[in-house]
């Protein structure tokens, strides 16, 4: 790891933004950003200050081959703690989808399913979203976790709305055959979610470069 990568890793392990860390060190955010991108180097006094601030050795900061096990372990634990809310909330949302599908399926074509039948499952999905957002804001996770969460869960959350909306469309466009409806609904589902996933991926990468 380079010096810039180590500074960024230490900052993220403490859950700090660039603005917060720059303020604590008495430097500008732009200066810190340059350090992390390795376009400039901190002075020796700042190296010592960074060492004290993060409770790491100067050898760890300055030597590329030196790995501080405590920092590495702390960073890994932080990543795991940030992924846990995503996994838990996604599981709840998936369960909610299963409940919605099971309760709405009354033996008719999905065009005729009713919102009231799927309400319980949709409610469970909303609870899953709320759990993630509460944990996200209370733990001050990185914003890229928001993008990851939504890029996964738009696929699950959009199933029932699209199915229920298809019932409305089937009445307005009843001159089309059922097969034609089904094909277009499936096509729209995949196109819509693929586009959202792509956008979230771009935003996540852009945020990572900024941070």
Please report the pLDDT score of residue 79 as a whole number. Answer: 63
- Give CA angle at 141 (138, 144), nearest 5°: 140
Q: Which two tokens stand for residue 155?
A: 């696929």
CB atoms within 10 A of CB 34: 16
CB atoms within 10 A of CB 14: 13
- Give CA angle at 180 (178, 181), nearest 5°: 65
Please report the pLDDT score of residue 199 as a whole number. Answer: 92
Local confidence pLDDT in tens for the 211 residues of the chain: 788 988 998 888 888 889 989 999 999 999 999 999 999 999 999 999 998 988 888 888 887 654 555 555 555 566 667 788 999 999 999 999 999 999 998 887 777 788 889 999 999 999 999 999 998 888 777 788 899 999 999 999 999 998 888 777 666 665 555 556 677 788 889 999 999 999 988 887 776 555 4
| Positive or negative torsion for Cα 54, 57, 63, 69 | negative
Please report the pLDDT score of residue 75 as a whole number. Answer: 58
Best CA proximity match to 85, nearest among 148, 22, 12, 177:
148
CB atoms within 10 A of CB 136: 19
Please report the pLDDT score of residue 183 as a whole number. Answer: 78
HEC string of 10-64? HHHHCCCCHHHHHHHHCCCHHHHHHHHCCCCCCCHHHHHHHHHHHCCCHHHHHCC
């Amino acid at each position: 790891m380079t010096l810039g990568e180590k500074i960024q890793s230490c900052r993220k392990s403490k859950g700090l933004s660039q603005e917060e860390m720059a303020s604590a060190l008495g430097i500008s955010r732009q200066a810190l950003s340059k350090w992390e991108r390795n376009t400039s180097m901190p002075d020796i006094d700042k190296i010592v200050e960074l060492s004290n601030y993060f409770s790491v050795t100067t050898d760890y900061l300055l030597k590329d081959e030196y790995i501080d096990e405590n920092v590495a372990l702390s960073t890994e634990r932080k990543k795991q703690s940030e992924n846990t809310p995503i996994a838990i909330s996604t599981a709840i949302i998936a369960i909610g989808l299963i409940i919605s599908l099971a309760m709405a399926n009354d033996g008719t074509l999905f065009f005729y399913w009713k919102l009231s039948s799927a309400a319980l499952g949709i409610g469970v999905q909303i609870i899953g979203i709320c759990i993630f957002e509460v944990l996200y804001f209370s733990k001050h996770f990185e914003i890229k976790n928001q993008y990851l969460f939504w890029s996964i869960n738009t696929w699950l959350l959009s199933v029932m709305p699209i199915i229920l909306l298809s019932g409305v469309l089937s009445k307005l466009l009843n001159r089309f055959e059922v097969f034609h409806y089904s094909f277009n609904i499936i096509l729209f589902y995949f196109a819509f979610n693929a586009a959202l996933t792509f956008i979230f991926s771009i935003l996540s990468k852009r945020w990572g470069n900024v941070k």
